Structure 1
Amino acid sequence: MHNSADIARVRRFYRAATRDTGALDQSFLGRGRPLGPARVLHSVAPEGTPVDTIRTYLDLDKTLLSRFLRGLADEGLVTLDTDPDDRRRRIVRLTDTGRTEQALYNKLSDDHAAALLSRAKDRTALLAAMDLITMTLNQTRITLRETDPQHPDAVACLEAYYAELAARFETGFDVSLSRDPDAADMRSPRGAFLVAYRDDAPIGCVGLKGSDKGYAEVKRLWVSPDARGLGLAKRLMDATETAARALGIVTLRLDTNSSLPDAVRLYQSTGWTALDRFNDDPYPDYFFEKHL
C-alpha cells in the first residue's frame, strides 16, 4: 500500500516532466505540430516502417495513428505504400523533406537534453535516476525473441557478457579458454538462443546448448546492467525451460562462478540442485542440474 505523500511525489514528477518536455505544446520543439505527430515522424526508420509496427511501438489507437499519418502525408513528410510482400500491410516512408524534418527534431531534442544536463547539480545521479525511471516504465515492453546466436544483436550481448566476466573474475576471462558453445548447438532442433529486447534494443540473452550426453546446458545468461532488478534473468531462465520442453529436453545443467553471486542465488532459489563438476571449463566453481 502506497501512502499519499508518495503518490503526490509521483504526480509532481509527472507534472514537471510533462511541462519540461513540451508534451502539451501545440508546437513541439517549435516545429509547428504537437508531440503526437512528431513522435510518429521520429518512429519512421530510414528504410521505412510498417504502420502496425509504429502503432505497437507507440501504443497508439489505430484511428489516432491514421489521423497523424494523414497529416504528415499532407505535409509532404511521409508516404504510405503497400508492402510488396503483403498487400494487406502499409509501409510508412520518409520523403526527402521528412528526413530533413526528422533530423531537425533530433538536433532540437539533443539540444534540449544537453540544456537539462547543464542544469543538473549532480549529472551522474540525474542520469541514474532517469535510467531507473526508464526501466520501470518500460518493464512491460520487454520482449523475448528466439534469435540466431550469430545475429548481430546476439553477438553484441555476448561481447558485453564476456567483457563483464573479464572485469569481475580475478583471473580475467578469455572466451577461447572456456567451453564456448558451438553456434549450431544453440539452434533448433538441438537448442535455442534467446535475446531480450526493450524497444528493439537488445538488453539480455541466454543460450540453450544441446548435446548428446542426455542433458542440455544453459549458457551465457546475461542482463544489461541498466535492466537489472526487473526479474529479467528469471524470465529468461523460465523461457529457456519452456524452449527445452518444446525440444523434448528433460534435464538441464549449468555452471557459474562465485564472482556472480546474484546468478548463484537465482539458481538456488528456482529449483536447481547443486552437483559435482561435470566439465573441464577453468572458470566455473558452481555446478547445477534441473529435471523438467
Structure 2
Amino acid sequence: METESEQAPEPVSTEHVAAFRRFNRYFTRRIGALDDHYLGQDRPLGEARLLFEIGDGASLRDLRGRLGLDAGYLSRMARALQAQGLVRVRVPAHDNRLRILEPTPAGRTELKEQNRRAEALAAGLLSGLTAGQRAELTGAMATTRRLLRLAGIAVELVDGASVDARACLAAYAADIDARFPEGFEATDLVRPEEVSGDAGAVLVAYEEGRPVGCGALRRLADGVGEIRHVWVHADARRLGLARRLLDGLEREARTRGLQVVRLDTHAVLTEAQAMYRACGYTEIPRYDDNIHASHWFEKRLAAGDRDEDGV
C-alpha cells in the first residue's frame, strides 16, 4: 500500500507480477484452497480458517481485524458455524456490545481433526523432498512471509500531535529507557510542533491497521534536517521496516528542500549504527548537546537521489 509520503522507487515489472500470480495459483490449488470440502471436511476453507482462528474463543471484532474480513461476510460464516453446532455466541457481562464466539464440544472435536489433517497434508507434501530440500523450502517460506509482511505494511505521514504518533514515540521512549544505562525521559522526545507542517514530519507504519513503527524529521537549519526516534515494534523487527522508515524520512526531507540530514545514536545501539552506515551515512563530529548520543551521522541528499517522479 502506497501513500503520498511513500511512493514506490520503481515500477513493478510485469514479470514479477506474473510470477507472483503463478505461485498463488499453484499453491492454492496444491493445498486444496479451492475445494468446497477443504481437507476432506464438510466445509470450505473460509469456514475452516474461521474455526481455527476462533480457537478457545475470540470476539467478532478481533476476528474482523485479524482476518481483514468484511463484517457482513464474517457474520454469515459465523452464523453458518453456529447453525452447524460448532460455535456458540456469548455476550460478556462487562461489555454488551461484544460478541464472543466460542467452540462447542463438537467444534473442538472438528478443530482437532482439522489440525490433524492439515499436518498430514503438509507432511505428505514434504515427504517427497530430501532433508536438504525441506530446509531450503522452509527457509524460502520464511523469507516469503517476511517480505509479504513488509509489503503489506503502510507507512503514512501523520500529524506530530496525533494519537498514533505520540503512542509510537512513547513506546520508543519506553524501549530505549530499558536499554540505556542512564535511562531515557519521555520529555526528551521531539515536540509535536517540531515535526509537523513545514517544520518536519512524523511517519507511522501500520500493519493491518495497528501502528508498528515510527520515525520523525525536524528542520535544524536552512537545508539541514535531523532524523529522530526511528522505532519498530518488537513484533515487526527483522522485516526491513526500519530501513523503509529511514528511506521515507529522507524522501520527506527532499520534499522540504533539505540537502542534508543528520542523526545521532547511543553507544549501545550498535544495530542502528550498522544500519545507518549501510544506508550511506557517514560519521561526523558532535553537532548537538544530546546527553544520550555518542555517535553522530550525516547524509547528503544529492539531486540524483530524488525519486523518478521528482519528489
Superposition TM-score, scaled by structure 1 size: 0.59
Q: 1:149 and 2:183 equivalent?
A: no
Asked if 1 retains the 8 angstrom alpha-carbon contact of 2:223 and 2:260, the reply is yes
Asked if 2 retains the 8 angstrom alpha-carbon contact of 1:26 and 1:34, the reply is no
AA partner of residue 175 (structure 1): A
* Structure with larger RCO (C-alpha < 8 A, sep 6+): 2
The aligned residue for residue 223 of structure 1 is 232
Q: Which of these residues, 199, 212, 222, is aligned with residue 190 of structure 1?
A: 199
AA partner of residue 168 (structure 1): R
Partner-residue secondary structure (3-state), 2:299:
strand
Partner-residue secondary structure (3-state), 1:249:
coil
Task: Please list every run of 5 or more consecutive structure 2 residues that lacks an aligned counterpart in the other structure.
Answer: 1-26, 32-37, 81-90, 113-141, 302-311
Task: Please list every run of 5 or more consecutive structure 1 residues that lacks an aligned counterpart in the other structure.
Answer: 1-10, 16-21, 59-64, 76-95, 117-130
Partner-residue secondary structure (3-state), 1:34:
helix
Aligned 1:1-292 pairs, distance under 5 A: 26=42, 34-35=47-48, 57-58=68-69, 68=73, 103-105=99-101, 107-108=102-103, 138-176=149-187, 178=188, 180-292=189-301
Superposed CA offset, 1:9-53 (max 9, x none): xx9xx97xxxxxx9886569xxxx9358889xx99869xx9xxx9
Partner-residue secondary structure (3-state), 1:238:
helix
Aligned length: 216
Partner-residue secondary structure (3-state), 1:252:
strand
Q: Distance in 2 between matches of 1:238 and 1:190?
A: 18
Partner-residue secondary structure (3-state), 2:226:
strand
- Following superposition, the deviation at residue 138 of structure 1 comes to 2.6
Q: Root-mean-square deviation (CA), in Å?
A: 4.5
Q: Distance in 2 between matches of 1:203 and 1:66?
A: 24
Identity of aligned residues (%): 29
Evaluate the alpha carbon distance shift between residue 272 and residue 66 of structure 1 in structure 2; reply closer, same or farther with a 3 A threshold.
closer
Q: Distance in 2 between matches of 1:147 and 1:188?
A: 10
- Following superposition, the deviation at residue 236 of structure 1 comes to 0.5
Superposition TM-score, scaled by structure 2 size: 0.56
Asked if 2 retains the 8 angstrom alpha-carbon contact of 1:135 and 1:227, the reply is no
Q: Distance in 1 between matches of 2:177 and 2:233?
A: 15
